[in-house]
Amino acid sequence: MQDRCDCRRALAPEPFAAPDAPVRRVPDRPVDVLSVALDVSVDLEGRSVEGRVEHRVKAVAETVDAVTLDAVALTILDARLDGVDAPFSHDGERLVVRPPKPWRRGDEHVVEISYRGRPERGLWFVAPDADRPDKPLQAWTQGQDEDSRFWFPCFDHPQHKTPTEVRASVPRGLLAVSNGALVERVDRGDRTIFHWRQKAPHASYLVTLVVGAFDVVEDRAGAVPLKYCVPRGRRGDALRTFGRTPKMVELFGRLFSAPYPYEKYDQLVVSDFIFGGMENTSATTLYEYVMLDASVEDAADSDWLIAHELGHQWFGDLVTCRDWAHAWLNEGFATYCETLWYEMGVDPERGRKHLLDTARAYFDEARESYRRPIVSGRYDAPTDLFDRHLYEKGACVLHHLRLELGDEVFFRAVSRYVAAHRDGSTETVDLRRAAEAESGKDLGAFFDQWVFAPGHPELQVRHRWDAAAKRLTLSVKQTQRRDDGTPLFRLRTRCRVWFARGHVDRTFEVSDAEHRFQWDLDDDPVGVRFLAEGAPLVALDFERPEGFLVTQLERDDDLFALAEAADALGASGARGATEALAKALA
């Protein structure tokens, strides 16, 4: 499988979901943020920032006697309310500004903060060094999960969404890119000021600023302007790497019944990025290894990462998880967008292969590290949640939901979910309600077993053939450990029996700890497959004769079934198994 260095994982340790971590709550929101305007001057060589941020807010609580912003390791120079100096306190993490008298519900006010600092996180600086004297001079932000507070005072939680403006003063000759549309670019002496405006509301962690010198290649996806900002000297590789973006934009807009929602879409390749990519609204930042040169274009692509971050423009940016406990609504969807692109934009079998790799990444973590519910409010820091349960299992659960509903209903449900919560924030129940509204089904049990409980089905299957009675008996046990809250799962399986000529299929439903299915056949079987068709989150232990496995490998048309047979043959090590695998590979 490709190294899954998407927006949270490159160069980062695998997180651990500690069972004894505290339960995190959604913080109170006494004010709504109506808009944010940020004026910032970036000193790349001094690795520092100085600026002023203006928050226009509206009181939501009945009375508000203090406004609290997140501001870590910044020096606060002054605070003003509605243009008048205001008292404030700052403990190094929280900035509290107090109005002269309490605000009443519905009151609107402007909070201005002037500050400076050398950010410890959130805003990162890149410069040449002894090991890499050719490294470019750059600065770039990485706000997820709650690191924007390190470079400007803000309401740094995903439930706060607001339009933003960023005016960035940078050394002349460098480009500064932020969210939304470029309003103005003005040269003043040895500095240039770039003024960007993002009209649609978005969360603080999605506010971006990238500063550096790039080769810029322009493209379009219908009416949407695209820019690929790549390292100097790599212009020729830009279309090789990003050239399929217009088709992705069209595909996702059609699947989700929502055209690309922002003024433009930039993809910026920077040096030393701490993750694979970050879906900042309308301006994704990507690590340098996304770039492809001519020597690898026939053997590799970066489409999975590009599709992942583009998918976030709908799932995460346009519709944002209300709290990190439900972050799979961001990451599971974005990861599933990888499979959707390969399936519908490249080749269906390529999509199946990618989904299989996605499931295997989750199984690795579940087998070797831990299992947890996808939705969990128990964590030490939000980043603890950004694991293979959130990404890969989340994507596979969406595929299971698609199988449960059928393609037409599934994509109607997703479109309903996007339309109902556009520019807002959601929890898992919102997706469930959209799916129930479109399908007419009660999906409570589905979400309970796949999203709110840990683990996955582990099926031990044994078979017995009664030649005299022409009866096949399949004994099925769910063997997953259940002392950690893992449930007995309910799932449908489609089994296949091959004969010397032809085959027959039959569907069984597994729901209990043990089942015994009997199947009367017209001929002796030469192969038996027992699999949850198209459902990746099922681990199977099915002992069969080598000949049965060879038949499945040679004659099955389901990629998951082929992979299951190949794995079983590979584990046997027998000479016949090796020959069958070599033949299949050829």
The closest of 148, 88, 144 to 381, measured between CA atoms, is: 144
Q: Would the pLDDT of 3 be above 50?
A: no
- Give the mean pLDDT of 484-491: 96
pLDDT confidence of residue 22: 83
pLDDT confidence of residue 19: 65
Q: Would the pLDDT of 6 be above 70?
A: no
Q: Is there a contact between 235 and 214 (Cβ–Cβ < 8 Å)? A: no
Q: What is the H or E stretch that residue 114 is in?
A: strand 108-117
Which of the four pLDDT bands, split at 50, 70 and 90, describes residue 17?
A: low
Q: Is there a contact between 248 and 307 (Cβ–Cβ < 8 Å)? A: yes
CA distance 218 to 314: 22
Q: Is there a contact between 179 and 343 (Cβ–Cβ < 8 Å)? A: no
pLDDT confidence of residue 428: 98
Side-chain half-sphere exposure of 392, counting CA atoms within 13 A: 26
pLDDT confidence of residue 18: 60
Residue type, 50: E
Span 225-282, pLDDT tens digits: 999 999 999 999 999 999 999 999 999 999 999 999 999 999 999 999 999 999 999 9
Q: Would the pLDDT of 492 be above 50?
A: yes
pLDDT confidence of residue 299: 82
For 369-452, where are the alpha helices, taking DSSP H only?
A: 394-405, 407-421, 428-439, 444-450
Q: Is there a contact between 49 and 43 (Cβ–Cβ < 8 Å)? A: yes
Integer CA distances (angstroms), 510 to 260, 460, 489, 503, 507, in order: 41, 12, 7, 22, 10
Of 303-317, 521-535, 571-585, least confident by mean pLDDT is: 571-585
Side-chain half-sphere exposure of 339, counting CA atoms within 13 A: 23
Burial 539-577 (b: 16+ CB within 10 A, else e): bbebebeeebbbbbbebbebbbbbbbbbebbeeeeeeeb
Which of the four pLDDT bands, split at 50, 70 and 90, describes residue 12?
A: very low
Helix (H, G, I), strand (E, B) or coil at 477: strand
- Give the mean pLDDT of 114-140: 95
- Give the mean pLDDT of 493-522: 95
Which of the four pLDDT bands, split at 50, 70 and 90, describes residue 574?
A: confident
Helix (H, G, I), strand (E, B) or coil at 467: coil
Of 15-19, 251-255, 347-351, 494-498, least confident by mean pLDDT is: 15-19
- Give the mean pLDDT of 472-497: 95
Handedness of CA 167, 172, 178, 181 (dihedral sign): positive
pLDDT confidence of residue 533: 73
